[in-house]
Amino acid sequence: MSSKGARMKSKISRLAALGAVAVTAAIDCAVVVYPLAAGATLKLGDPAPDFTAQASIGGNVYDYSLADALKKGPVVLYFYPAAFTKGCTIEAHEFVDAVDQYKAQGATVIGVSHDNIDTLKKFSVSECRSKFPVAADADAKIIHAYDASMPMKSTMANRVSYVIAPDDKVIYEYTSLSPDQHVANTLQALRDWNAKHKPQ
């Protein structure tokens, strides 16, 4: 093993010994090791920070407003690290496939990443299939407001999903770099919330 490889193995071992889970990500052609976050930061019942941002759906750019979206019903706000990466593409496809199920629960979906709007114009068509908007947070202000940044890379979003009720309160949060359960979990949270808020 090369001395560089040995140093990396030693670093991973130290992280594991501290109880941290590590993930490797290819960023700017370098391999970086990140400990995973213990969990999302906004808690159930916390007010969701309002925001407006440039967003794209179907390649069309517009100003997205969380407050306006909440007037129509619950919002699933999901943060993802970077457009066109493998996990984020898988996750986008899963949200696409579930759009009708979200509509049946009276909810809308918005994705947020640190990508610029030109990148997201393409991503909104090719991977989001023009089914839901993705918003640009190039300066990471929204990411930071929701405490959704990647450990050791504060301008990049972790994979965090929130469900926000129309009264702007957080009713569900889920953090995992795996894209597998974000859709299933947020849909179940919406079903549970709707079951408790059906008109009598």
**Is 29 a residue of the active site?**
no
Q: What pLDDT is attached to residue 12?
A: 35
Query: Which of 42, 69, 83, 88 is labelled catalytic?
Result: 88
Q: What pLDDT is attached to residue 21?
A: 36
Query: Are 79 and 7 in a shared domain?
Result: no
Q: What pLDDT is attached to residue 152?
A: 84
Residue 40 in any domain: the answer is no
Query: Are 126 and 175 in a shared domain?
Result: yes
Range of the structural domain that residue 86 is part of: 52-196
Q: What pLDDT is attached to residue 200?
A: 52
- Average confidence (pLDDT) per 10 residues, the chain, 200 residues: 46 36 33 37 94 98 98 98 98 98 98 98 98 98 96 92 98 96 98 86
SS (H, E, C) the chain: CCHHHHHHHHHHHHHHHCCCCEEEEEECCEEEEEECCCCCCCCCCCECCCCEEEEEECCEEEEEEHHHHHCCCCEEEEECCCCCCHHHHHHHHHHHHHHHHHHHCCCEEEEEECCCHHHHHHHHHHCCCCCCCEEECCCCHHHHHCCCEECCEEEEECCEEEEECCCCEEEEEEECCCCCCHHHHHHHHHHHHHHHCCCC
Residue 42 in any domain: the answer is no
Query: Are 70 and 129 in a shared domain?
Result: yes
Overall domain count for the chain: 2
Residue 116 in any domain: the answer is yes
Query: Are 83 and 181 in a shared domain?
Result: yes
Query: Are 71 and 111 in a shared domain?
Result: yes
